[in-house]
Amino acid sequence: MSETPKTAAHKTAERIVELEAELEADGRAAVDGSDLEAALGVLRHWIEGVAAVVASPALGRVTLVHADGNASSIASPELAFLLSGPARAKPAE
């Protein structure tokens, strides 16, 4: 029997927080309810400040360049692939 996405998300978030604790780094997971809604609101606002996106599928990274010139990286082979020009997924017709 496969896990529901919510269960998988909870387990992944818990594992990440535990790994960070081993490095004596504090982590906080928002997986549902008002905590998740608040985190998504912050992310939406943060994304709105993006002025450029650099997708690097070969590196599995997406770099967001904000209007003030600061850059933030997201390590995600899937996102980099989805954002890459020629490899961009085409909508089904």
pLDDT tens-place string over residues 10-54: 899 989 889 888 888 888 889 889 999 999 999 999 999 999 999
Give the span between the Cα atoms of 54 and 27, in whole angstroms.
27
Classify strands 61-66 and 50-56 as parallel, antiparallel or unpaired. Answer: antiparallel
Q: How confident is the model at residue 77 (pLDDT cuts 50, 70, 90)?
A: very high
The answer to whether the predicted template modeling score (pTM) of the entire model surpasses 0.75 is: no
Residue 66, token pair as written in the block: 């904000």
How does DSSP classify residue 84? Answer: S
What mean pLDDT comes out for the span 65-89? 87
How does DSSP classify residue 16? Answer: H
Judge whether residue 86 has pLDDT over 90: no
Nearest to 10 by CA among 18, 70, 93: 18
Q: What pLDDT, on a 0 to 100 scale, did the predictor assign at position 26?
A: 84
